[in-house]
Structure 1
Amino acid sequence: MVNKFVTASAVAILLALGAAGGAQAQSITQALTAAYDHAPDLQAALLEAKASAENIALAKSAKLPTIGASISGSESWSLVGGQFSGGPSITTGVSYNQTIFDNFKTEAQIEAARAAAELSEYQIRNSEQNVLLSVVQAYMNVLSGRQLVALREENIRFFQAQLQSAQDRLDVGEGTRIDVAQAQARLAQGEAAYRASLSTLEVSQATFQRLVGTRPQQLNSAHNYARLIPNSIDAALAEAEVGHPAIMMSKAAIRAAQAGTDAAEAAFGPTASVTGQVGSRWTNGGMTDGLSGSVGFQVTVPIYAGGALGASVRKANLGQIKSEVEAMSTYDQVREAVISAWAGIQSADAQIQAAQAAVQAGTTVLDGTIQERDLGTSTTLDVLNSQAELTSAKEGLINAQTSKVVATFSLLSAMGRLTASNLGLPVTVKSAVNYTQAVEDVWQELRTVAE
């Protein structure tokens, strides 16, 4: 039974690791680059930013003229005193409408739209950071998962060898059935741990493929992005406070809320508009009414609107206060993330040093215990326990090294520097800035019609 499982495990490990070994190397930078181009979340954030930019043009249109042309026709007839008359009638005209003053309500709405577009641009950067950090986590989960699978497969071979040794000693009368049973129990535990690590690795690889768009190949945790981390936590906090996209989003949200309050208050003021139209009418092939036109203006001053105006101002004020409170919360969350990531790096460094010492000591202890068992001064159980402690130390080292890499990128994210630009990824940075500048040209629609 043992030999059958080891054969199956060897096949499985070749599928999980051997195939990757023959594949092309895939660095963290390559995975981040592929994910940046692939990520649906980033594309969705870009489209949302473009849609938000259109609100600027919509806001500007409130004080720009609307010009339209119309044509209508009819066919009429009459029968009077036995005399029939009738014929077609066509009417054409051009109309002009424009609000020339609205107590600066439109200006406030334009400012709110611009702030919202800026907020959406920072949302792209925030989504970018979340996507790239998820990729790093998935990358390290696959890498550490493969290392754990290899370690536990090696552990199985060790327990198999100990079981065979215990069985051989029992056959020649130098061992006991207890030694055999203990070796069998540890082998069963090792097989269960191995299967569990394989299942976890499969899930990690699926997550990696979802984020990056390709299956993980030969991975390596080496990177040079630690150079982006400042020398002190105070410097990291200062950088996060001025550049994190979440904080910039909060500032833009406050601007938008302030503009919304201004727009609500402007609704209490007067508005003035002008209208004009010109047209003519043709009947039976000739102009019958000549060319006619009109020009008018209208001034309105709100007096009472059933409480709607006051309610809108109060609602806008509450929205502004809410945005300021949320900004304070975001500020605290960013600081917390920086401190947590910084502590994570320090903790991972300490864990790596401790795990390396434990692996070195555990290797020495295991070798000595095996020699003592062969001399009869230690038991098989002592050997099995020493191997379990060594395996635990090696697993701790794998986990600590993984935590160090993830904490490094988590700190970059907390500082607002986990972006394609900061990392120098060879990609075209997703941004709606150019699109926003284009939609600011509100006369583009008229030129398009003219062309």
Structure 2
Amino acid sequence: MSTVRAVLVLTLLASVAAPWGASAMTLPEAIALARRSNADLAQTRARSDVASARLAQARAGRLPSLILSGEGAGGTTDLGGFFGFGQSDVSPRAASLQLRQPLFTGGGVSAAIARAGEGEAAARAELGGATSLLSAQVAAAYVGVLSAQDLLALSRAQLVQMDTITAQAKLRFKGGEIPRTELDQAVARQAESRAALARAEGQLARSRAHFSSVVGAEPDGLETVIVPPATPASLDEAIAMASQSSPMLLAAEAAERAAQAGVRYARAERLPSLALTATASTARDQFFPGYRADGVTVGVQGRWTLFSGGAVSGRVDEANAELRRAQAGVDAARAQVREAVIGAWGDVVTARAVMLAATDQASAATSALDSVRNEVRVGQKPVLDLLDAEREALAAQSALVATRGEVTVSAYRLEALLRGQ
């Protein structure tokens, strides 16, 4: 029985052993589950919510405010006969209701809203980028478990083959058909297969633990059919797409616009501000027993800072420096995105080419193994040739398993650079 047939048998046995009614988890389902439970993404989402709350606060600067204030007390007063009042018990109390509507802030409120709005846009872009990156991480973890399972099945099948070859070699050695060297080589390869199986078992355990950490669920019954995300037709198309929708670049550009609004906000402190106010007030026992006063006033309040000891100028300089930093950040982000997209695109193309070559290699190695097995059976070749052919076939099939997974992972990595989700 060839190694490929053994893998098929093991896969069939595994499917039969699976409990009836168990539903397989697909990669999109694993991504959706990770988005709900991943702690890092939850932190990024919370930062986006903070930015939205700041925008709501900034918009409130244009709206009127209504403030109710009051005070009350109790005690004794002694006016010493002034106005005919001596010692008396009083209960001074007062209340006021003020309505204030900003009329002119020198552009400060508009700048604050713009800055908060761009901060929210940057946070949304970061959230989209983090979500896409998490999707790529889940894809890598998902494929890692499937690859580890396949490699474990290959290792088990290989050990079965080595056990069979070693048993046959012992019989042939006893019959005087092969020398002791060939028997020792078969035993050595058998031990090598046991070590490979132990490594495969350890790798599967690590892959399952990593999947659970990223996704938040056990990788039981994973669907083996994976459809990678669509990729652009060319590198130029990928670069153009990234320049328009890359989360990293969108966040940097939003940060630059927020810094521009920050400069306007700082400069607005040099201009006067005006607000319309309307106040209704009432007071009792404030100055002498029986005192009473009620009033309603409507007016305009103004404020203009003429001299601040350089504080306003310092804030303007700080805002300009932040703008220069943000502009440099856009240039850096643009260069980083271009470099990353070129590398990711190369990974996708390379993975596809390597998978085609690995497919041909695995097919040829399996065919060669069948031929060598027949030749060894009739005594045309030594057992060592069969051992080498088994090793080469296992290496070729293992490489094919790895490259198939890399095609999917590289496509998700490129997707994370091109657009947020």
Which of 241, 244, 266 is matched with 1:242 structurally? 244
Which of 243, 263, 266 is matched with 1:264 structurally? 266
Which position in structure 1 is the counterpart of 2:27?
28
CA distance in 1 between counterparts of 2:142 and 2:271 reads: 59
Q: Tell whether the 8 Å contact from 1:78 to 1:85 is kept in structure 2 after alignment.
A: yes
Secondary structure at the counterpart of residue 77 of structure 1:
strand
Q: Bigger shift: 72-81 or 392-401?
A: 72-81
Please give the per-residue CA displacement for 1:234-281, whole angstroms capped at 9, x wherever unaligned.
222222221222222222111101000111122222334565544223
CA distance in 1 between counterparts of 2:150 and 2:16 reads: 12
Q: Tell whether the 8 Å contact from 2:283 to 2:292 is kept in structure 1 after alignment.
A: yes
The aligned amino acid for 1:58 is Q
TM-score, normalised by the number of residues in structure 1: 0.80
Q: CA deviation at 1:97?
A: 4.7
Question: 2:156 aligned with 1:186, yes or no?
Answer: no
Which position in structure 2 is the counterpart of 1:404?
407
Secondary structure at the counterpart of residue 149 of structure 2:
helix
The aligned amino acid for 2:350 is S
Which position in structure 2 is the counterpart of 1:71?
70
Q: Bigger shift: 49-58 or 391-400?
A: 49-58
Which position in structure 2 is the counterpart of 1:229?
231
- Give the direction of change, closer, same or farther, for the CA distance of 1:409–1:57 in structure 2 (3 Å limit): closer
The aligned amino acid for 1:203 is R
CA distance in 1 between counterparts of 2:306 and 2:322 reads: 25
Question: 2:161 aligned with 1:162, yes or no?
Answer: no
The correspondence of residues 324-363 of structure 1 with structure 2, limited to 5 A, is 324-363=327-366
Q: Tell whether the 8 Å contact from 2:77 to 2:90 is kept in structure 1 after alignment.
A: no
RMSD across aligned positions (CA): 3.0
CA distance in 1 between counterparts of 2:305 and 2:223 reads: 69
Please give the per-residue CA displacement for 1:289-323, whole angstroms capped at 9, x wherever unaligned.
23145566554443443332222222211211221
The aligned amino acid for 1:199 is G
Which of 85, 95, 98 is matched with 1:95 structurally? 98
Q: Bigger shift: 289-298 or 307-316?
A: 289-298
- Give the direction of change, closer, same or farther, for the CA distance of 1:239–1:20 in structure 2 (3 Å limit): farther
Q: CA deviation at 1:36?
A: 3.0
The aligned amino acid for 1:162 is I
Please give the per-residue CA displacement for 1:120-177, whole angstroms capped at 9, x wherever unaligned.
2222211210111111111100111100000011111111111111211222222333
Q: Structure 2: any 5+ residue segments left out of the alignment? A: 1-9
Question: 2:218 aligned with 1:219, yes or no?
Answer: no
Which position in structure 1 is the counterpart of 2:44?
45
Which of 388, 407, 418 is matched with 1:415 structurally? 418
Secondary structure at the counterpart of residue 76 of structure 2:
strand
Please give the per-residue CA displacement for 1:188-235, whole angstroms capped at 9, x wherever unaligned.
221122111211111211222233332223334434454x33322222
CA distance in 1 between counterparts of 2:324 and 2:285 reads: 63
CA distance in 2 between counterparts of 1:292 and 1:243 reads: 59
Which position in structure 1 is the counterpart of 2:150?
147
Secondary structure at the counterpart of residue 204 of structure 2:
helix
- Give the direction of change, closer, same or farther, for the CA distance of 1:38–1:18 in structure 2 (3 Å limit): farther
CA distance in 2 between counterparts of 1:311 and 1:250 reads: 25
CA distance in 2 between counterparts of 1:89 and 1:15 reads: 90
Q: Tell whether the 8 Å contact from 1:16 to 1:146 is kept in structure 2 after alignment.
A: no
CA distance in 1 between counterparts of 2:13 and 2:126 reads: 40
Q: Tell whether the 8 Å contact from 1:159 to 1:183 is kept in structure 2 after alignment.
A: yes
Q: CA deviation at 1:345?
A: 2.4
Q: Tell whether the 8 Å contact from 2:141 to 2:210 is kept in structure 1 after alignment.
A: yes
Q: Bigger shift: 292-301 or 182-191?
A: 292-301
- Give the direction of change, closer, same or farther, for the CA distance of 1:390–1:225 in structure 2 (3 Å limit): closer
Please give the per-residue CA displacement for 1:1-22, whole angstroms capped at 9, x wherever unaligned.
xxxxxxxxxxx99999876686
Q: Tell whether the 8 Å contact from 1:268 to 1:309 is kept in structure 2 after alignment.
A: yes
CA distance in 2 between counterparts of 1:106 and 1:182 reads: 83
Q: CA deviation at 1:112?
A: 0.2
Q: Tell whether the 8 Å contact from 1:281 to 1:287 is kept in structure 2 after alignment.
A: no
Which position in structure 1 is the counterpart of 2:4?
none
The aligned amino acid for 2:310 is G
CA distance in 1 between counterparts of 2:194 and 2:15 reads: 17
Q: Tell whether the 8 Å contact from 1:221 to 1:405 is kept in structure 2 after alignment.
A: no
CA distance in 1 between counterparts of 2:19 and 2:140 reads: 21
The aligned amino acid for 1:259 is A
Secondary structure at the counterpart of residue 292 of structure 2:
strand
Q: Structure 1: any 5+ residue segments left out of the alignment? A: 1-11, 420-451
Q: CA deviation at 1:354?
A: 1.7
Q: CA deviation at 1:381?
A: 1.8
CA distance in 2 between counterparts of 1:162 and 1:21 reads: 34
- Give the direction of change, closer, same or farther, for the CA distance of 1:137–1:290 in structure 2 (3 Å limit): same
Which position in structure 1 is the counterpart of 2:377?
374
Q: Tell whether the 8 Å contact from 1:59 to 1:113 is kept in structure 2 after alignment.
A: yes
The aligned amino acid for 1:105 is G
Could you tell me the percent identity over the aligned residues? 27
- Give the direction of change, closer, same or farther, for the CA distance of 1:370–1:181 in structure 2 (3 Å limit): same
Secondary structure at the counterpart of residue 69 of structure 1:
strand
Q: CA deviation at 1:84?
A: 5.6
Q: Bigger shift: 161-170 or 333-342?
A: 333-342
- Give the direction of change, closer, same or farther, for the CA distance of 1:171–1:140 in structure 2 (3 Å limit): same
Which of 115, 118, 121 is matched with 1:115 structurally? 118
CA distance in 2 between counterparts of 1:231 and 1:297 reads: 63
Please give the per-residue CA displacement for 1:360-389, whole angstroms capped at 9, x wherever unaligned.
222232223233333434222221111111
